[in-house]
Amino acid sequence: MGTKRKKRIYERNIYYTVLKYYVGLFFRLSYGKREYYGIENLPSDGALIFASNHTNALMDALAVLDLDTRPKVFVARADIFKKPLLAKIFFFLRIMPINRIRDGRNTLKNNDEIIKQSAEVLCHNVPFVILPEGAHRPMHSLLPLGKGIFRIALLANEEIAGEKPVYIVPIGIEYGNFFRYRSSLLLQIGHPINVTDFVKAHPNKEEPVMMNDLKERLQEDLKDLILYIPDDVHYDATLELCNMSCYDRIDQLSLKHRVLKNRLTANRYTVSLIQNRREAEADKTIKILEEIAAFAESRKRKKISMASVANPNPVMTIIYRSLLMLLLFPCFIVSSILYAPTLLASYLLCSRMEDRAFHNSVRFVTTLLLWTITFVAFAITVFGLFEWELALALSLVFLPSPLTFYQYYKWFRTTRSDIRWILAKDLRTAKKRFVEWIL
């Protein structure tokens, strides 16, 4: 009797497929607004390696998974695979381990087998996802790209041997806020890099040189898809100026408001202006950026959100949000009670994590797991207590309790911030001066 063949990570699994759609539903509900662009750029004739920037832990990978219906295989840092049970879970979730140089140079040799497996995944028409920065950083910038993705691409190109081209697909992911749950998500797919054509066009180049060339190409492509702020020293001031001038910039560029891509376009334009001003008037520009940094510190001390600073008409916003909160208060109270166990669990887990970039991932996972259990218990209870018509109505009304809670809390938080902003005359005067300077 033959031995049972070991299941491959890319092979179809009905349990994974069901879980993927369920997780995808909760992921979409984790954002108040989502915009995806560039789906039409995805090639249909080759092996795809998706490469995105990495700013928000698990949520980045889920964003790539959600961009189309195809299952995908991912890599994650190898140290989280040490426990056998976790390794099995990650295998089921189609996640492979990869060692980083920070894990020790002696561990890097283990990556050779992983890279071969990655090429096998691509040969079987399953897209492969790797976040080439190797570590997340909740900033509008890029860390240096690792070489693993390019080794995988070149090896896959050799393995496929002309059957089909191999592409690296750059993906830029932008969040309205790295740390706020139910913020916004903008995902843009850039023009794929045809690795097969690149290798054919440079037959005499050695592999390290080709890897470096591909690295520079991908890095530039990713910068074009995100809000890239190159200046770490004045990063906070630059971002502050982008956000406070965004509404006026969108008007200036004759773009539509409430479109995430337009907001990115406006902010990228502002960053380029700041860079030009620094080249033309370095001392004056640095002085203003330092003043803006002080403005940001004062704003935060007074607990005024940037949403309030960017709001062109806070008075009207306060009026209509207050009316909505008054009308929906009873629903908010019941939703808060139902969501409380999940909220408490996520709060306790987040309080133990120093890296805030993980907080939205924790909120997502706890909502996915605990809210499902809570709602099932709630539905069983109401169907046991009331007639089915009323029980069904109550279940439908309170099914979106997590969304009700976060939306209501956002209204409350921003309304309170708007009031503080209206009272902060000195900050409003300073904002006007800064915006006039950059416009």
How far apart are alpha carbons 425 and 419 in whole angstroms?
Answer: 11
The residue among 110 and 298 whose pLDDT is bigger is 298
Residue 429 counted as domain residue? no
Does one domain contain both 215 and 255?
no
* Range of the structural domain that residue 281 is part of: 235-299
Tokens linked to 151: 């080794």
Tokens linked to 319: 């009026």
∠158-97-210 over CA atoms, to 5°?
A: 35
pLDDT for the residue 434? 96
pLDDT for the residue 83? 82
Residue 307 counted as domain residue? no
pLDDT for the residue 249? 96
Minimum mean pLDDT range among 116-130, 201-215, 255-269, 322-336 = 116-130
Residue 406 counted as domain residue? yes
pLDDT for the residue 71? 85
User: What's the average model confidence in pLDDT over 181-189?
Assistant: 95
Residue 305 counted as domain residue? no
How far apart are alpha carbons 302 and 240 in whole angstroms?
Answer: 16
How far apart are alpha carbons 304 and 74 in whole angstroms?
Answer: 39
pLDDT for the residue 253? 96
User: What's the average model confidence in pLDDT over 211-233?
Assistant: 94
User: What's the average model confidence in pLDDT over 163-179?
Assistant: 93
Nearest CA-CA partner of 155 in 168, 169, 170, 172? 168
The residue among 110 and 147 whose pLDDT is bigger is 147
Does one domain contain both 378 and 413?
yes
How far apart are alpha carbons 10 and 324 in whole angstroms?
Answer: 48
pLDDT for the residue 44? 86
Asked if the model's pLDDT at residue 1 lies above 50, the reply is no
pLDDT for the residue 98? 76
Residue 1 counted as domain residue? no
Tokens linked to 401: 């309790």
Nearest CA-CA partner of 144 in 50, 54, 270? 54
Nearest CA-CA partner of 332 in 274, 419, 390, 412? 412
Nearest CA-CA partner of 415 in 329, 339, 337, 311? 311
Does one domain contain both 416 and 355?
yes
Q: How far is CA 200 from the centre of its chain?
A: 35
Does one domain contain both 215 and 282?
no
Predicted confidence (pLDDT) per residue in 85-98, tens digit: 888 888 888 888 87
Residue 9 counted as domain residue? no
Does one domain contain both 71 and 210?
yes
- Sequential DSSP letters for 39-85: GGGS-SSSEEEEEE--SSTHHHHHHHHHTSSS--EEEEEGGGG-SHH
Predicted confidence (pLDDT) per residue in 24-40, tens digit: 999 999 999 999 999 99
Does one domain contain both 318 and 285?
no
3-state secondary structure 185-232: EEEEECCCEEHHHHHHHCCCCCHHHHHHHHHHHHHHHHHCCCCCCCCC
- CATH code for the domain in which residue 215 is found: 3.40.1130.10
How far apart are alpha carbons 68 and 276 in whole angstroms?
Answer: 39
pLDDT for the residue 10? 82
How many structural domains is the chain composed of? 3
- DSSP, collapsed to helix, strand or coil, labels residue 399 as coil
Does one domain contain both 121 and 242?
no
Does one domain contain both 47 and 100?
yes
Does one domain contain both 76 and 154?
yes
How far apart are alpha carbons 163 and 173 in whole angstroms?
Answer: 31
* Helix/strand/coil percentages in the chain, nearest 5: 65, 10, 25
Beta bridge partners of residue 94, listed in sequence order: none
Residue 230 counted as domain residue? no
Number of C-beta neighbours around residue 346 at 10 A: 21
User: What's the average model confidence in pLDDT over 376-383?
Assistant: 95
Share of the chain above pLDDT 70, in %: 95
Does one domain contain both 219 and 240?
no
pLDDT for the residue 376? 95
H or E element at residue 16: helix 14-29
Residue 244 counted as domain residue? yes
Predicted confidence (pLDDT) per residue in 311-356, tens digit: 999 999 999 999 999 999 999 999 999 999 999 999 999 999 888 8
Does one domain contain both 278 and 324?
no
The model's confidence at residue 244, banded by pLDDT at 50, 70 and 90, is very high
CA distances from 217 to 194, 210, 221, 265 (A): 11, 11, 6, 21
pLDDT for the residue 105? 56
Minimum mean pLDDT range among 14-23, 285-294, 325-334 = 14-23
- What mean pLDDT value characterizes the chain? 90
Does one domain contain both 350 and 292?
no
pTM of the model as a whole:
0.92
State how beta strands 95-98 and 73-77 pair: parallel
Cβ neighbors of 192 (< 8 A, separation 6 or more) are 41, 42, 43, 48, 167, 168, 169, 170
User: What's the average model confidence in pLDDT over 275-286?
Assistant: 93
